[in-house]
Amino acid sequence: MSGIKSFFNGIFSIFKSKKDIKLGFYGPPNAGKTSLANRICKDFTGEEIGKVSKIPHETRSVQFKEKVEISYKGKKMVFKMIDTPGIATKIDYEEFLKYKVKKNEAKKRAKEATQGVIESIKWLDDMDVVVVVLDATENPYNQVNITIIGNLAARKIPVLIVANKIDKRKADLKKVQAAFPEYDVIGTSARYGKNLDKFYESIFKLTKKI
């Protein structure tokens, strides 16, 4: 009986291994999740995954890019890229008024962003590997970051922490590394494509933990 079971498990694992790896981009709003995902998609498919903006919560629904074949040092892997809306515990439409967004538009944006957070949380279970993108110029000890990273660890989903915006003067990579000593933390600048080799290397390493 156990022989039959292991035979079918073997068959299923063959099919499973052929599936694209679901690579999720999580993190707080405006950390550069879409910028980083765009950079990768553009490098390997020639197309971007979504629009970026200085206004927080530009991504308000989950965005996908299928069949992204990433090659690094002779190795190739196919990913399904999943870019998620930034997770926050509150969204106030007045925050958008500072960016000269009209009141009605700001209210609509806040409502959509709120739905986006709920959608992001629902998707947590479906990821194979997650890149948590943090803004290296901000305080990393944000409870949302800690809760999301802890949650992924509890679900045994491999996590890579990216401290983005290291091109900025205020960026503090060491502070992010000190906040999450149990995880791989790499610094990148999605805007200028800095340190992406290290990113790809870390992602390939991480997929071995699936």
Select from 82, 117, 133, 203 the one that contacts other proteins (CB under 8 A). Answer: 117
Tell me whether residue 14 or residue 154 sits nearer to other proteins (CB atom): 154
Bridging pattern class, strands 184-187 and 159-164: parallel
Tell me whether residue 144 or residue 173 sits nearer to other proteins (CB atom): 144
Nearest to 208 by CA among 139, 173, 147, 160: 160
Round to whole Å and give the CA distance between 51 and 174.
30
Nearest to 161 by CA among 184, 140, 143, 142: 184
Question: Is residue 104 a contact point for other proteins (CB under 8 A)?
Answer: no
The H or E element containing residue 120 is helix 103-123
Least distance between other proteins and beta carbon 72 (Å): 31
Question: Is residue 173 a contact point for other proteins (CB under 8 A)?
Answer: no
Counting every residue written for the chain, the total comes to 210
Round to whole Å and give the CA distance between 18 and 189.
32
Question: Is residue 9 a contact point for other proteins (CB under 8 A)?
Answer: no
DSSP state of 125: G
**Based on C-alpha coordinates, what's the Rg of the chain?**
18
Question: Is residue 126 a contact point for other proteins (CB under 8 A)?
Answer: no
Tell me whether residue 78 or residue 121 sits nearer to other proteins (CB atom): 121
Least distance between other proteins and beta carbon 122 (Å): 8
Select from 1, 4, 14, 154 the one that contacts other proteins (CB under 8 A). Answer: 154
Question: Is residue 130 a contact point for other proteins (CB under 8 A)?
Answer: no
Tell me whether residue 19 or residue 155 sits nearer to other proteins (CB atom): 155
Question: Is residue 147 a contact point for other proteins (CB under 8 A)?
Answer: yes
| CA distances for 95 relative to 34, 56, 62, 102, 111, angstroms | 20, 9, 22, 11, 13
Question: Is residue 102 a contact point for other proteins (CB under 8 A)?
Answer: no
Question: Is residue 114 a contact point for other proteins (CB under 8 A)?
Answer: yes
Interacting residues with other proteins (CB under 8 A): 87-92, 111, 114, 117-118, 121-122, 124, 139, 141-144, 146-148, 150-151, 154, 179, 181-182
